[in-house]
Amino acid sequence: MSVVNLLDFDLEGLAAYCESLGEKRFRAVQLFRWVHQRGEHDFERMTDLARSLRQRLAGAAEVARLRVLSEHVSSDGTVKWLFDVGGGNAVETVFIPESDRGTLCVSSQAGCAVGCRFCSTGHQGFSRNLGTGEIVAQLWHAEHVLRARLGAAAGERVISNVVMMGMGEPLQNYAALVPALRTMLDDHGYGLSRRRVTVSTSGVVPMIDRLAQDCPVALAVSLHAPEDGLRDELVPLNRKYPLAELLQACRRYLPRAPRDFVTFEYCMLEGVNDSPAMAHRLVALLQGHGSSDLQGLSVPCKLNLIPFNPFPASGLKRSSPEAVARFAAVVQAAGIVTTIRKTRGDDIDAACGQLAGEVLDRTGADLRMARRRGSIPIQAVGVEVPR
Ligand code: SAH
Ligand code: SF4
């Protein structure tokens, strides 16, 4: 019989598992609290469980931790772990400390099938989905290792926010994502507020609708372009779910969301999407003045401008701080709350979109990407990018 990984279960799943062992629900709550709140993986040390149960668990179940391949700590306190997920695949997780919060950036897949032009994960191709246990294990590891390291008092949490902004497209791994989110939110688990757990997506429209039903959390949508032609090139998924459909899905999401706005992410690429004219088109799109099907409809939102983190194979350049400021000024003048993301962990390649892991390219995505790159009418292509 194969060994069951308890990190694969949300509380309901664990209750069902305990029931299959003839145990009552409150045992599942105790077990869940030991694993997630106290970071315990050794059943022998779960002293308030009956010895007979502990012995049965020891034979049948485990808390499957991820093997750490490397850990880097940045001069600004950012920590990046590279975890082995087997078969030559690795995923990255990043902890970003700030004065008022601790944010963990979590991966959902080894590689990514969406293949965005400016994303180093996308350039690797897709290897496989992570299981719920592998998503949760990133939080389990970070929370409990950092708690011990920082000498946190009992019950004190280090991680207050989770963003699904590591490697992969979380809404293309929906079945594993939802129990992981529920474990993050559960008061017996990590007890995170819905407002402080963010799913970031490149725009998988049907799954945005399902998330609203199954587990509404804060939503971030990676926009990157105000018109379909350019977005088709930057985020290939746009060909399947174009902007009008995507923004309508955002509007449908909001009534169930824990926040009354969607965060739009916009990666600033020099000469590609960073001109004041693009900023005006973006305002028109978001405020419903454009020529699209969204005419007359606006999306309550905040805009997050991300300075592009270059990597050589992208052939793209980061917008200058002046271009970012000019773009922000146009959007802000139209009343859209806009922030410019600070780059953190630059010295350890932990910044957004630099998470490369060591995923095997089994899909030929590098080749497809090279072809796609050749077809893109973007001036910055081929420019040597300084790191
Ligand atoms: N697949 C999801 C979540 C992971 S990517 C998504 O695309 O939203 C998290 C964020 O990093 C996205 O907004 C993505 O567009 C951005 N990103 C990817 N590559 C980047 C890069 N090289 N520089 C800056 N941001 C990048
Ligand atoms: Fe995948 Fe997101 Fe990277 Fe696009 S930006 S390739 S969706 S991880």
311 alpha carbon, closest ligand? 1
Whole-number Å distance, alpha carbon 364 to ligand 2 midpoint, is 17
List the residue whose alpha carbon is closest to atom 2 of ligand 2.
Answer: 169
Reference 103, options 157, 159, 175; nearest CA is: 159
Give ligand 2 pocket residues (Cβ under 6 A). Answer: 112, 114-116, 119, 121-122, 168-169, 202, 222
**What is the spatial distance between Cα 303 and Cα 190, in angstroms, rounded to a whole number?**
28
**What is the spatial distance between Cα 296 and Cα 251, in angstroms, rounded to a whole number?**
13
Q: Is residue 196 a contact partner of residue 240, using CB atoms and an 8 Å limit? A: no
Q: Which of 18, 215, 301, 352 is catalytic?
A: 352
List the residue whose alpha carbon is closest to atom 20 of ligand 1.
Answer: 353
170 alpha carbon, closest ligand? 1
Active site residue 352: yes
**What is the spatial distance between Cα 283 and Cα 289, in angstroms, rounded to a whole number?**
8
From first to last of its 387 residues, what are the pLDDT tens digits of the chain? Answer: 689 999 999 999 999 999 999 999 999 999 999 999 999 999 999 999 999 999 999 989 999 999 999 999 999 999 999 999 999 999 999 999 999 999 999 999 999 999 999 999 999 899 999 999 999 999 999 999 999 999 888 778 999 999 999 999 999 999 999 999 999 999 999 999 999 999 999 999 999 999 999 999 999 999 999 999 999 999 999 999 999 999 999 999 999 999 999 999 999 999 999 999 999 999 999 998 876 666 667 899 999 999 999 988 999 999 999 999 999 999 999 999 999 988 777 776 666 555 555 444 444 554 444 444 334 333 322 222 233
pLDDT for 357 equals 57
138, 172, 222: which to mutate for ligand 1, most atoms within 8 A of CB? Answer: 222
Whole-number Å distance, alpha carbon 378 to ligand 2 midpoint, is 19
Whole-number Å distance, alpha carbon 170 to ligand 2 midpoint, is 9
List the residue whose alpha carbon is closest to atom 6 of ligand 2.
Answer: 122
What secondary structure, in 3-state letters, does 5-58 show? Answer: EHHHCCHHHHHHHHHHCCCCHHHHHHHHHHHHHCCCCCHHHCCCCCHHHHHHHH
Whole-number Å distance, alpha carbon 117 to ligand 2 midpoint, is 9
